[in-house]
Each structure stands twice: as C-alpha cells, then as structure tokens.
Amino acid sequence: MEIPSSQVSPFKPKQQRRHILMLSLAGGAIILLVAFFFFYLRSQKTGILVLDPTTNITIKVNGRVATPETTDRGLYVPLYAGQYRLELDKPGYTAFTKDIQTTPGNTLEVRPAFSLLPSIQQSTGDSIDYVRPAADESSVYYLGDFRQRLFRLNVSTQTTVPLTDLPLNGVTDVEWGGDPNVALIVQTDGTYLHEIPRFDFENQIYVKIGGPEIVSPVWDPNNPDRIASGYFPSTGEKSLVVADQRFTTITRLASIPNIPDPKVIWSPNSDYLLLLARSATYSDENLWLYTLADGSLKQITQTGGITDAKFSPDSAHVLVQQTSQLGAISREILAMNDDTTQSIGGTLPISETAWKDSATFYEPSDDLKSLVLRNLNGSSQSTPLSLPDSESVQALFYFSKPDKVIIATTKAVYTVNLEKQ
C-alpha cells in the first residue's frame, strides 16, 4: 500500500545528512589521531650510536653525510624512527654498510667491523690470498677463485684440489689450523662481519663460534684446541682472551682498552702474544707484548706507525715493519730478551719475507729478478728469480725438506727449488 506523502517523516533526509556529517567528523578525527601518534612517535628521541673509540669516521645516512655527537662510547647520530642505509668510512679500512631500523625512544647501537686494507696493492685476478703451508711441507692451502673457494696445492705434483664446493661470500680473513685441516674464516655478507666459523673440510660443516665481538682470532701453534683473540662484546668490554676452538670456554687474559682493533700474533713457541694496534691515528699504531707465563702486558714500541710484525722461528726475535705517514717502509729486528732493536735493510713489506732460521730470512728483490737471503747482521746473498712483471708478491714461505721457497702472488703460487739453483 502506498503511503501518502503527507505521512512521510520530514526529518529523515535531515537525519541522513547528520549521520553523514558525524561519520565524516569521526573519520577525520581518526585520521588526525593516527597522524598525531605517527608524528609524535617519530619525534621521540632515537638514533644510532656507532660503537667505535675513534672519531675520524665519516657517517652517511641514506647517502648524506651526518654530523654526529661525540660521546664516551662512540658517535651518536640523532634520527627520526624509520629505516635507513648506514655507511661508515674510516681511513685505511674497507667501508662498512648496513641497513638499519630505528624505533621511537630507543637508541640503536652499531658496532662496525672494519677490515684493514692490505698494505700492498693487490690486483683482482684469481685473488689468491691467505696462503698457508702444511706442517709436513707437502701442500699449500689458500683462498682463491675470487675469494670464493679454499684450495690445497700439492707441491710435488703442482696439482690443485678445491676444498669447498659452494662459493664463500665476503671472506675477510682465513686462519688455518695446525694441519691445516680446519680454518677460522672471518666472513661477511658483503659489507660487515657476521660470523667466524670453524670449517670442517671433510664433512663440509660450518659452526658459528661468534660474531663481531671476536677480533683477530688466531690458533695456538702448539695446541689445536686453543684460540687467542681480542674480545669486544656489546657490553663495552675490551679484553685479550683465549678460548677453545668453538669459543664455548673463554679465559680473559688482560684488559686492553687502549689497544684499538688489535691484530693478535702468537709466537711459534706459544709463550707470547703480540698485539698490533691497528688505527687510523699514526701514533696509536704500536706493539704490545703479553707473556703467558706471568700474565704481564707491556707496550714495546712507542714511535707509532707499526703496521706488521713477524716472529722468528725460535721466538727470539720479531721482524717489525714501520710505515711512515707518506707510505715509506722501514724495518727493524726486535730482540725478545731485552727489547732492543736494530735496523735491517730492505724496504719491502714483511708479509713478503720468509724466515729460514733464527738469523736469516728470504725475500724477493724489488724488481722480482732475484730471491734475497738476508742475515740479521746486515749481509745478504741473491739467487736468480723470474716472476711475471704483472704480479705482486704477497707472501713467502720457506720449506726445508727439500730446500725451497713458496712464493704466493695475487694470481698464482710458485715453488722455487733452491737445490737446483
């Protein structure tokens, strides 16, 4: 039945308009409330704290240089809450990059893991690196294939066997075990240190033993289940420690708050640990000596600019490399019994030297045309040598059975049989 127009409520259209108005106002209020809380939360104090004691770091956030605030723990960059690309540049080191997410009211702490740039120029090539001879002198192990695989070279047959099937990513250091049938591989995902695994070649197994808190791990030359390293956890602790090979039991040896980014070097007799301070500040680059017998830690160089060190086979001397601020290299021999030093000839990096015995070491000549046997008393003798001019020597090793030198360049591993010279 049709309702007469006189009986239709005159308030219905008005009520509809009122409802629409109320809904619009409510929706607008919700939008304003959401926007208010969004901008309020973004305005809460947040930012990143770069945990690095040095201040000569360039910080970029989303590609723009940021001006940080210096604190006693590091460099603080205030930010709104959100996602950012963090880039850190430090002179003498590879860049550190990380994608971060900051949250309202919280400070995100970032501990950058910088890799020290090599002291000599390296070409890409096959990128042979981290070379280590086996104890029985029958093989040489190295990282190759553009830093993606580990290999073993049989010295007598000159045949190479790959030890890893899958490509490795972002390797920044390899510390071979005593055999070496295991290795500590300092690895990144391309920009920062994220794990230091022990690698079981036979079973192809990784075991993560720690993160960026483990600095410069190195095997005890005489104990296959002991590792020394710097230990820099997020708590702010800075210690020299020893641990088992899986880093489940840690023994703190000494506090090292004044030794930046230490490179740890174990003496062949396992009695001493050298700590090389790696820093962008020239005066901070010095050597410290830790004696395991009495637990003493002392600074043994004061001049700064110390960029490498290598023990003699009997642990009685240390070949020390000093690099000037202009890049010139000088070398000294440090006596462990009385800390006295004497200059030694040559200007090559000591990574290119190989001790023959406690008094002599081999190194190539500057033109790579001869192999020089240098004595600590200053005398030397040469053996003819011929290497491609396009290759850079990065490491030498001496084998006594038979008498030969292994020369690792950036592209190949060469054997120089001295008995046939």
Q: pLDDT tens digits, residue range 229-274?
A: 999 888 899 999 999 888 889 999 999 999 999 999 999 999 999 9
pLDDT at position 12 is: 59
Higher pLDDT, 421 or 180: 180
Average pLDDT for residues 363-373, to the nearest whole number?
85
Note the pLDDT of residue 264: 96
How many alpha carbons fall within 13 Å on the CB side of residue 340?
Answer: 3
pLDDT higher than 90, residue 319: yes
Which residue's entry shows tokens 């601020």? 325
pLDDT digits 0-9 by tens, 146-196: 888 888 888 777 788 888 777 787 788 888 877 667 788 877 642 233 456
Higher-scoring residue by pLDDT: 145, 322: 322
Q: How far is the CA of 49 from the CAs of 46, 52, 313, in angstroms? A: 10, 9, 44
Query: Rounded to whole angstroms, how far apart are CA atoms 362 and 354?
Result: 5
Of the pLDDT bands very low, low, confident and very high (cuts 50, 70, 90), residue 320 is very high
Residue with more model confidence, 279 or 11: 279
Distances (CA, A) of 175 to 178, 216, 218, 264, 282: 10, 9, 6, 11, 27
Give per-residue pLDDT as tens, 83-122.
899 998 887 666 788 888 888 878 888 888 765 443 222 2
Task: Work out the pLDDT band at 333, boundaries 50, 70, 90.
Answer: very high
- Whether 144 shows a pLDDT value over 60: the answer reads yes
Give the Cα separation of 23 and 369 in Å (integer): 89
Q: Would you give the DSSP letter of residue 304?
A: -
- Which one is predicted more confidently, 213 or 267? 267
Q: What angle do CA 183, 286, 288 make, to 5 degrees?
A: 65
When pLDDT is averaged across residues 193-211 and rounded to a whole number, the result is: 68
Q: How far apart are CA 323 and CA 404, in angstroms?
A: 29
Q: Which amino acid is at 100?
A: I
* Domain covering 45-110 in this structure, CATH number: 2.60.40.1120
Confidence of residue 277 (pLDDT cuts 50, 70, 90): very high
Between 361 and 195, where is the model more confident? 361
